[in-house]
């Protein structure tokens, strides 16, 4: 193991403190973004209902256009839905189970490295 100098330690502490500051700012902004997304989602539902009920394909306002679009997408598979689909396809639960296990076991495993912030737990205050 390499020897860590005081200079290296001070630089690391500075970087860690800055990392904590950024983490706090991101948490604060994430909260604000969540509020904005919720408000936008509420407005989206209201506008979609208005456009659908009035058979409006697009609305032009202040040089911008808002289109009402419908598209078909497929739901993602859950463990249960994949098992059911394989059972239907093979018409045999044993073959379906083998295929399911093969699919699940052959997935690539990827190592992920990240930093996780752990703040000290604050004991609850006594209500005396």
Q: Which tokens go with 80?
A: 């249960």
pLDDT at 1: 67
What is residue 114's three-state secondary structure? coil
Residue 83 above 90 pLDDT? Answer: yes
- Percent of the chain residues topping a pLDDT of 70: 98
52-82 burial, b for 16+ CB within 10 Å, e for fewer?
A: eeeeeeeeeeeeeeeeeeeeeeeeeeeeeeb
Please state, in angstroms and rounded to a whole number, the distance separating the CA atoms of residues 96 and 110: 26
Q: Output the pTM of the full model.
A: 0.61
pLDDT of 127 > 80? The answer is no
Q: What are the residues whose beta carbons fall under 8 Å from the beta carbon of 65, sequence distance 6 or more?
A: 58, 59
**Helix 93-105 × helix 79-90 angle, to 10°:** 130
pLDDT at 109 over 80: yes
> Predicted confidence band at 121 (pLDDT cuts at 50, 70, 90)?
confident
């Amino acid at each position: 193991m390499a020897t860590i100098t005081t200079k290296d330690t001070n630089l690391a502490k500075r970087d860690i403190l800055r990392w904590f500051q950024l983490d706090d700012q991101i948490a604060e902004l994430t909260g604000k973004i969540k509020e904005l997304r919720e408000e936008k989602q509420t407005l989206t539902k209201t506008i979609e209902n208005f456009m659908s009920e009035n058979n409006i394909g697009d609305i032009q306002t202040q040089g911008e256009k808002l289109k009402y679009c419908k598209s078909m997408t497929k739901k993602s598979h859950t463990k249960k839905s994949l098992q059911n689909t394989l059972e239907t396809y093979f018409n045999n639960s044993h073959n379906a189970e083998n295929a399911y296990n093969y699919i699940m076991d052959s997935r690539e495993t990827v190592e992920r490295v990240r930093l996780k912030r752990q703040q000290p737990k604050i004991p609850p205050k006594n209500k005396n």
